[in-house]
Amino acid sequence: MKKDKKFLKDLEDNLGNIKKKYKEEIISKYQNIINEEKSKKRKITSIIKDLGDPKEIAQSELKLIKKDNFLQKISSSIKKIFSPKKNKKDNYIKEETKRIKKEIRKEKRNNFKNKLKSFGLFLTRDIKLKDKNKVNKEKIKIEKEPTIVEDVVNDFDEEVSNVSEIVAEKKIFESKKDRNKRILLKTLGIILTILLLFIWLWVSVVFIASIFAYLDGIRFIGINIILFGIDALVLWIVIMVNRAIFKKKNNLRLNLIISIICIVIIAFGIVITMKQISEIETVKDVSVKYSMTTKLSTYDLPNELDKKFNITFNSNYNTQYVMNYDDNLKDKIKVEVKYYECYYDYYVKETSNSSYISLKLDNRDRLSVYIDDLKDGQVFDNDELSRYVVRISINPDDVGRLVIND
Concatenate the DSSP letters of all residues of 7-18 into one string: HHHHHHHHH-S-
Looking at residues 108-116, what average pLDDT do you find? Answer: 68
Quick one: pLDDT at residue 205? 92
Q: Which is more confident, 190 or 139?
A: 190
Ranges 20-29, 116-125, 260-269: which has the least confidence: 116-125
Question: How does the average pLDDT of the chain come out, rounded?
Answer: 76
Quick one: pLDDT at residue 122? 47
Q: Which is more confident, 132 or 254?
A: 254
Quick one: pLDDT at residue 123? 45
Q: What whole-number distance in Å separates Cα of residue 227 and Cα of residue 244?
A: 26
22 band by pLDDT with thresholds 50, 70 and 90: confident
Please provide the DSSP assignment of 108-168 as one string.
Answer: HHHHHHHHHHHHHHTTSTT--HHHHHHHHHHHHHHHHSPPHHHHHHHHHHHHHHHHHHHHH
Looking at residues 334-354, what average pLDDT do you find? Answer: 85
Q: Which is more confident, 82 or 73?
A: 73
pLDDT at residue 118 is higher than 70: no
Q: Which of 99-113, 174-188, 259-273 has the highest mean pLDDT?
A: 259-273
- Evaluate whether 36 touches 51 at the Cβ level (below 8 Å): no
Q: Which is more confident, 246 or 349?
A: 349
269 band by pLDDT with thresholds 50, 70 and 90: very high
Looking at residues 204-232, what average pLDDT do you find? Answer: 87
Looking at residues 280-289, what average pLDDT do you find? Answer: 82
pLDDT at residue 402 is higher than 80: yes
Quick one: pLDDT at residue 168? 43
Quick one: pLDDT at residue 125? 43
335: left (phi over 0), alpha (psi -120 to 50) or beta: beta
pLDDT at residue 79 is higher than 80: no
264 band by pLDDT with thresholds 50, 70 and 90: very high
Count of all residues that appear for the chain in the document: 406
Could you tell me which residues come within 8 angstroms of residue 43 by beta carbon, excluding any fewer than 6 positions away? none
Give percent above pLDDT 70 in the chain.
76
5 band by pLDDT with thresholds 50, 70 and 90: confident
Could you tell me which residues come within 8 angstroms of residue 240 by beta carbon, excluding any fewer than 6 positions away? 250, 255
pLDDT at residue 11 is higher than 60: yes
Quick one: pLDDT at residue 55? 82
- Evaluate whether 222 touches 273 at the Cβ level (below 8 Å): yes
Q: What whole-number distance in Å separates Cα of residue 304 and Cα of residue 380?
A: 48
Looking at residues 257-283, what average pLDDT do you find? Answer: 89
pLDDT at residue 84 is higher than 90: no
Quick one: pLDDT at residue 271? 93
